[in-house]
Structure 1
Amino acid sequence: KVGAGTVINEAILQQAIEAGSDFIVTPAVSPKLLTALTKCGVPVLPGVSNTGDILMALEYGFEEQKLFPASLAGGAPFVSAVSSVFRTVSFCPTGGVSESNKMDYLSLNNVFAVGGTWVAKKEWVAQENWQAITDSCIQVIK
């Protein structure tokens, strides 16, 4: 599957859909963007950074959300704290998540995945070193 990230408005969303994106990821939410996302026809992971964002995304029907930037939004303690209020919401924290702290998040019941740049370093992508990225991904899930 191939997705489009950093979707911040309807124009980018439309470009991503026309390009054949299988899913959409946003760094933030707004009522206008959430309205468009509910109509786009592919799975969406809207980005949230506080309880107001979480509630807004939930009101639009999004129970799986990306917490970004996780480290600045309160990290694993924040994710844990909101679990009692937003019982149906699960998160994919990104932004400040690393190999050394990923388990702080993954050990929480309301986290279904994490994202981090350590898995696919910029130089590996630039060098088209797909094996290094594959090996890194395998190491992460062990």
Structure 2
Amino acid sequence: MTLNLNDLVRGGTACFSKAGLAEGTNDHTIKTAAPNGAGVDFAISGLSYHKADTDNIAPTVCDEQALGTTCLYVVTLQTDGDVVVTKGNEVDNDDLSGGYAVLDWPTPPAGECPVGAIKVAAGTTAFTVGVDDITDDVGTGTITFYDFFAVPSSPLTS
């Protein structure tokens, strides 16, 4: 018996184009800037949606991340194109670099499409997404943006 994609996918949620997540132009913001310039195409529960490239998106204010930790934040789109940021679990930077811990991807809220994530490695200062500026206020830490088709199945090991 041959199965095609139509036989397998029912009510799928996925991002069909690279969102181009990045720091926004204004302080405390992020943006979507798809490399093809056409915005983000995504599906939630089998229905297709589109979000035009948008700058200066005010991310959801999350709980403060402690200094000396790394944390993943999943970025999702709602059916109306609103952006939601969900904080994952913090991991001590030394435990992560020493191979004693991994970074698990946060579970996206139900009914929303994960389009990417932000990894914040806070250095000498604590950090709060939605309050602190993405790159200026992370202290000696680093910020990494990821674009998704769906949430990866394996945790990050560094």
TM-score (norm 1): 0.24
Structure with the larger RCO, 1 or 2 (CA within 8 Å, 6+ apart): 2
Give the greater-gyration-radius structure (CA): 2
As a proportion of its length, which structure holds more helix? 1
